[in-house]
């Protein structure tokens, strides 16, 4: 079975990707390759951060790698938090603190439309590819559900009465931004590898 390194330390994200990819490929974590440092994310775009993380592993470990970056883009906030989604409330904050800041900024706002975007950057030999997935929805006025991670408790995808945090992981993966990007990525892997 072909092995691919996924440049993440996020165990929930790793589990989600492994569930979506299934058993066609072995997905190795940073821990699996003894990479314990924080990989920089200093670009001002989601695409740039994904590619930066993939290059870091390729350059330092010489292994083919994929990395993703995700942003929540809220229409009424001019696309915030966007590329800063993981550190919206500051450095070294919890997802709950990020949600608190988002709900605070959205208080009384009528237009609650938002979208999640995920970009997966893949480096295989000299080839670089990007795969993007999106899902549109809205920001709820309060938290709902206990599953998922990040902003899942306050993001309700279109045509659903549930937030991502209220869905089973299987239901979420079928429609999510990460699920959509990963499906494109897996199609590419099946055709090319």
Report how far residue 28's alpha carbon sits from residue 6's, in angstroms, rounded to the nearest whole number: 6
Assign 3-class secondary structure to the chain. Answer: CCEEEECCCCHHHHHHHHHHHCCCCEEECCHHHCCCCCCCCCCCCHHHHHHHHHHHHHHHHCCCEEEEEEEEEEHHHCCCEECCHHHCCCCCCCHHHHHHHHHHHCCCCCCCEEEEEEEEEEEECCEEEEEEEEEEEEECCCCCCCCCCCCHHHEEECCCCCCHHHCCHHHHHHHCHHHHHHHHHHHHHHHHC
Is-catalytic flag, 69?
yes
What does the alpha-carbon distance between residue 100 and residue 95 come to, in Å, rounded to a whole number?
Answer: 9
Burial class (CB in 10 A: 0-12, 13-18, 19+), 152: buried
* Among 69, 100, 126, 187, the one annotated catalytic: 69
Catalytically active residues, by annotation: 69
């Amino acid at each position: 079975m072909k092995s691919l390194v996924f440049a993440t330390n996020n165990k929930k994200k790793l589990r989600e990707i492994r569930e979506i990819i299934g058993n066609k490929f072995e997905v190795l974590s940073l821990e699996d390759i003894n990479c314990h440092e924080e990989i920089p994310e200093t670009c001002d775009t989601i695409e740039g951060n994904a590619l930066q993380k993939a290059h870091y592993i390729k350059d330092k470990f010489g292994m083919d790698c994929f990395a993703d970056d995700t942003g929540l883009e809220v229409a009424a906030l001019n696309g915030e938090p966007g590329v800063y989604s993981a550190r919206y409330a500051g450095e070294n904050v919890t997802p709950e603190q990020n949600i608190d800041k988002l709900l605070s900024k959205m208080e009384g706002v009528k237009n609650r439309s938002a979208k999640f975007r995920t970009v997966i950057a893949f480096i295989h030999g000299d080839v670089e590819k990007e795969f993007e997935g999106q899902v549109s929805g809205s920001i709820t006025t309060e938290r709902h559900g206990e599953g998922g991670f990040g902003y899942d408790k306050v993001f309700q995808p279109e045509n659903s009465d549930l937030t991502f945090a209220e869905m089973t992981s299987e239901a979420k993966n079928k429609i999510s931004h990460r699920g959509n990007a990963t499906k494109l990525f897996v199609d590419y892997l099946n055709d090319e590898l």
